[in-house]
């Protein structure tokens, strides 16, 4: 797999040889500078501490990762590599997810979006996977519970890939409801089957919704309304976290969620958070590798969070056909 990915990347004529790179965040910030979102406020994060990371990762794993500081290395056959700045970036990613949770629980903001990289949802307690070193959303959830007094946390993962790491970490935990909508196995990482529902005290607090390739807005919104909303109403979360990946957008070739679809999902979660937990909603960036759909997707979500209107998702092509029909109408009239 590693060799295949390297060959694939080598054949692409792009400046970045690794799809998860710093240009992802610059693309988002550039768009937000060009097209500011009214009502949006920026705050910066700081590195997570070893104690904060140690709530979800083992001590031996953290020692191994910290030993790589300043080095280049391949960590895992499934494409996870580190370069000289990766460990610091991963510490700041997890710490920024924590800062976003603190901003919301302090009441400084109703909602927050941690724009971070590398992503986190594939990182397991003892293993880096799929570009992820530390599980940012899990570190944030653990901090909310252990340091900020939140008893029940709901995590929604709408990234195209299953959040295997987050599922692992909270598998037997009844106080974290983990709901993941993703493209079904054998799509990477191959986990997230319907029957994976947690175990022990946590049986029933893991909810997986596998989607076929090409599933789009209608399927996602149906899953939100018919599965996630009743699950949240039953669970009564005190905070909602989102593993927000933008690779369900068609530009990343796995699924078919449009910008309006991301906006609609955000609106549903915003309503849920307002109903159950004073609007406390924190998004943490996961995947999304096409720079245009990544930046546009983040912007549309931020505009909903900041109080903007929620555009109605249509069915792809219908508006264009209607416009074309209007354009051609005169041509076929006999009189
Ligand atoms: Zn992904």
Q: What is the rounded average pLDDT of the residues 11-36? A: 83
Residue 323 CA to ligand 1 centre (angstroms) = 34
Neighbours of 74 (CB within 10 A): 11
Q: What is the dihedral of CA 59, 101, 301, 245, to 10 degrees?
A: 10
Helix ranges, 248-317 (H): 259-276, 291-305
CA distance 37 to 87: 31
CA atoms within 13 A on the CB side of 135: 32
Residue 107 CA to ligand 1 centre (angstroms) = 30
Enter the CATH code of domain 31-307. 3.40.800.20
Q: Catalytic amino acids?
A: 122
**Higher pLDDT, residue 253 or 95:** 95
Residue 280 CA to ligand 1 centre (angstroms) = 24
Band of the pLDDT at 166, cuts 50, 70, 90? very high
Residue 77 has pLDDT above 80, yes or no: no
Q: What share of the chain has pLDDT > 90, as a percent?
A: 81
Global pTM reads 0.91
Residue 10 has pLDDT above 60, yes or no: no
Residue 183 CA to ligand 1 centre (angstroms) = 9
- Kindly give, in sequence order, each residue whose CB lies less than 8 Å from that of residue 183, ignoring residues fewer than 6 positions away: 160, 161, 210, 211, 212, 213, 215, 248, 254, 255
Confirm if 166 and 158 have CB atoms less than 8 A apart.
no
Residue 233 CA to ligand 1 centre (angstroms) = 27
Band of the pLDDT at 3, cuts 50, 70, 90? low
- pLDDT, residue 1, reads 44
- For the chain, the domains span 31-307
User: Could you give the maximum distance between any two Cα atoms of the chain, in Å?
Assistant: 82
Residue 317 CA to ligand 1 centre (angstroms) = 26
Q: What is the rounded average pLDDT of the residues 208-227? A: 96
Torsion over CA: 58, 61, 63, 66 (sign): negative
**Higher pLDDT, residue 105 or 335:** 105
Confirm if 220 and 181 have CB atoms less than 8 A apart.
yes
């Amino acid at each position: 797999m590693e060799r295949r990915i390297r060959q694939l990347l080598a054949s692409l004529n792009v400046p970045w040889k690794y799809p998860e790179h710093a240009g992802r965040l610059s693309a988002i910030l550039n768009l937000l500078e060009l097209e500011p979102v009214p009502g949006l406020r920026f705050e910066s994060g700081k590195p997570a501490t070893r104690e904060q990371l140690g709530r979800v990762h083992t001590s031996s794993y953290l020692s191994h990762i910290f030993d790589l500081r300043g080095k280049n290395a391949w960590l895992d056959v499934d494409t996870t590599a580190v370069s000289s700045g990766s460990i610091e970036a991963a510490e700041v990613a997890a710490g920024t997810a924590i800062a976003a949770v603190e901003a919301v629980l302090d009441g400084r903001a109703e909602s927050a979006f941690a724009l971070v990289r590398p992503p986190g949802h594939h990182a397991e307690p003892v293993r880096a996977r799929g570009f992820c070193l530390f599980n940012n959303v899990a570190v944030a959830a653990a901090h909310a519970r252990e340091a900020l007094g939140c008893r029940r946390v709901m995590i929604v993962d709408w990234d195209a890939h299953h959040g295997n790491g987050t599922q692992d970490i909270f598998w037997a935990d009844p106080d974290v409801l983990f709901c993941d909508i993703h493209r079904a196995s054998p799509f990477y990482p191959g986990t997230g089957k319907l029957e994976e529902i947690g175990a022990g005290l946590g049986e029933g607090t893991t909810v997986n919704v596998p989607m076929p390739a090409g599933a789009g807005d209608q399927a996602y919104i149906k899953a939100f309304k018919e599965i996630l909303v009743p699950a949240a109403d039953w669970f009564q979360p005190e905070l909602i976290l989102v593993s927000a990946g933008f690779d369900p957008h068609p530009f990343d070739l796995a699924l078919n969620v449009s910008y309006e679809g991301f906006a609609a999902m955000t609106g549903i979660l915003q309503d849920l958070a307002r109903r159950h937990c004073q609007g406390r909603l924190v998004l943490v960036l996961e995947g999304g590798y096409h720079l245009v759909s990544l930046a546009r997707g983040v912007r549309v979500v931020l505009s909903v969070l900041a109080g903007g209107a929620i555009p109605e998702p249509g069915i792809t092509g219908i508006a264009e056909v209607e416009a074309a029909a209007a354009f051609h109408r005169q041509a076929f009239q006999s009189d």
